[in-house]
Amino acid sequence: MNAYSLSDPQVRQGRFWPKVEACYSRTWDHYDMPPHFHNRAEIMYVLKGECLVHLYAYSAEPGGQQITVTRHRRERLRPGEFILLDQEVLHDIEVPETSYMLNAEFRVCRDEEALLSLASLASSSHAVAALLEGESRVLRGVDRSGDVLHALEKIVEAFSQPGDRALLDVLLAELLLRVADIAQDDAIAPNARSYVQQAMDYIAEHLCAPLRVGEIARAVNIAPAYLQRVFKQTMDVTLVEYVNRQRVEQARQLLMFTDDAVVDVAVATGFNSRQHFFRVFSAVTGMSPQQFRKEHRARSLPQTFLFDNAVDHSYSELDRRRAKPQSQITVN
């Protein structure tokens, strides 16, 4: 049965799916694995200690009898980090200390009986589509949420108890989704602040209109889930919380400096109902709109300011004179 690369265009069209062929969770102690490659993709995850993955670019003679290494690089993996290698990537592993690792190897092949397909997964996930369309055959990531570890542990467990093919397919789908999300985050991360600023600008321009996360994400041209994640990381509030706070701030100004009815203030600031406005406003300010207006209304009334020893100059150079000390000025 032919095996395919994850980046092969064919796997994004037909009924192709990875089949797990090897799994382990084990402790390595000062171990050196000789250079090798195979027709399976492989993911390695470090739980304890560290390991060095040596990667080699190479050219092979017809028949594969002679291999010439043209370039070498080394990746150091620490706890919580993983590396995904596509098929036929020449590599070896060096474990300089006691390390505990998880590993799964899977072959991508045409499979009409598989519960899922890479094409269907890519059609429902921008991150998976980007992963399969990418040219990189090596992907390294940091599993900050622990989601990759959870999926990989379940795969190792299910593989040790064969018989439930559907379960393995679902777990593989979860693993690919988690890995693809991390790959997308790492690829876009340098631009995260720019996306957040674009989202804030769009919100400011459309604050009084109905706003949905999907609509904002389309304006910024990134996936809604990613926008929500980077917005929370950058601003320390969710996208919805930010929109509500901006609307409440605008409502505060209207309540203080206009005579508009509360229901009109709610409509003017983009709230879809009076009840929603009351609930959000109270949650943000700790008081109802009516209470806020009553307590802060004085700010919008004429105020008196006292300038001690102020000197007032006329605009006319011909009629310059000093203002009296302790002059009292009323601002209307």
Q: What is the pLDDT of residues 30-76, one digit of tens each?
A: 888 888 888 999 999 999 999 999 999 888 776 666 778 878 899 99
Compute the average pLDDT of residues 153-174.
Answer: 89
pLDDT of residue 199: 94
Q: What confidence category does residue 147 fall into, taking pLDDT thresholds of 50, 70 and 90?
A: very high
Q: Where does the pLDDT of residue 309 fall: very low under 50, low under 70, confident under 90, or very high at 90 and above?
A: low
Who contacts 63 (Cβ-Cβ below 8 Å, separation ≥6)?
Answer: none
Does position 307 have pLDDT exceeding 80, yes or no? no
DSSP secondary structure, 38-106, as one string: -SSEEEEEEEES-EEEEEEEEEE-TTSS-EEEEEEEEEEE-TTEEEEE-TT-EEEEEE-S-EEEEEEEE
pLDDT exceeding 90 applies to what percent of the chain? 54
User: What is the separation of C-alpha 151 from the centre of its chain, rounded to a whole number of angstroms?
Assistant: 19
**What's phi and psi for 89, nearest 5 deg?**
-85, 120
pLDDT tens figures, 272-295: 888 999 999 999 999 999 999 988
pLDDT(28) > 80: yes
Residue predicted with more confidence, 76 or 316: 76
Q: What value does the mean pLDDT of the chain take?
A: 84
Q: Which domains does the chain have, with CATH numbers?
A: 9-189 (2.60.120.280), 192-299 (1.10.10.60)
Comparing 329 with 231, the larger pLDDT belongs to: 231
Per the model's pLDDT, the better-predicted residue between 140 and 189 turns out to be 140
Closest CA to 55 of 1, 64, 42, 66: 42
Rounded-to-integer distance, Cα 184 and Cα 130, Å: 7
Q: What is the pLDDT of residue 332?
A: 32
Asked if the model's pLDDT at residue 303 lies above 60, the reply is no
* Closest alpha carbon to 93 in 29, 32, 45, 36: 32
**Mean pLDDT calculated for residue range 159-184:** 89
Please give the residue that has the higher pLDDT: either 237 or 179. Answer: 179
pLDDT value, residue 1: 67
The answer to whether residues 104 and 20 touch, using CB atoms and an 8 Å cutoff, is yes
* pLDDT higher than 80, residue 302: no
Query: Model-level pTM greater than 0.75?
Result: no
Q: Give φ, ψ of 41 to 5 degrees.
A: -80, 155
pLDDT for 41 equals 95
- pLDDT for 197-230, tens place per residue? 999 999 999 998 889 999 999 999 988 988 998 8
Residues with Cβ within 8 Å of 68's Cβ and at least 6 positions away in sequence, in order, are 58, 59, 60
Which pLDDT score is estimated for 188? 66
Query: For residue 318, which amino acid is it?
Result: L
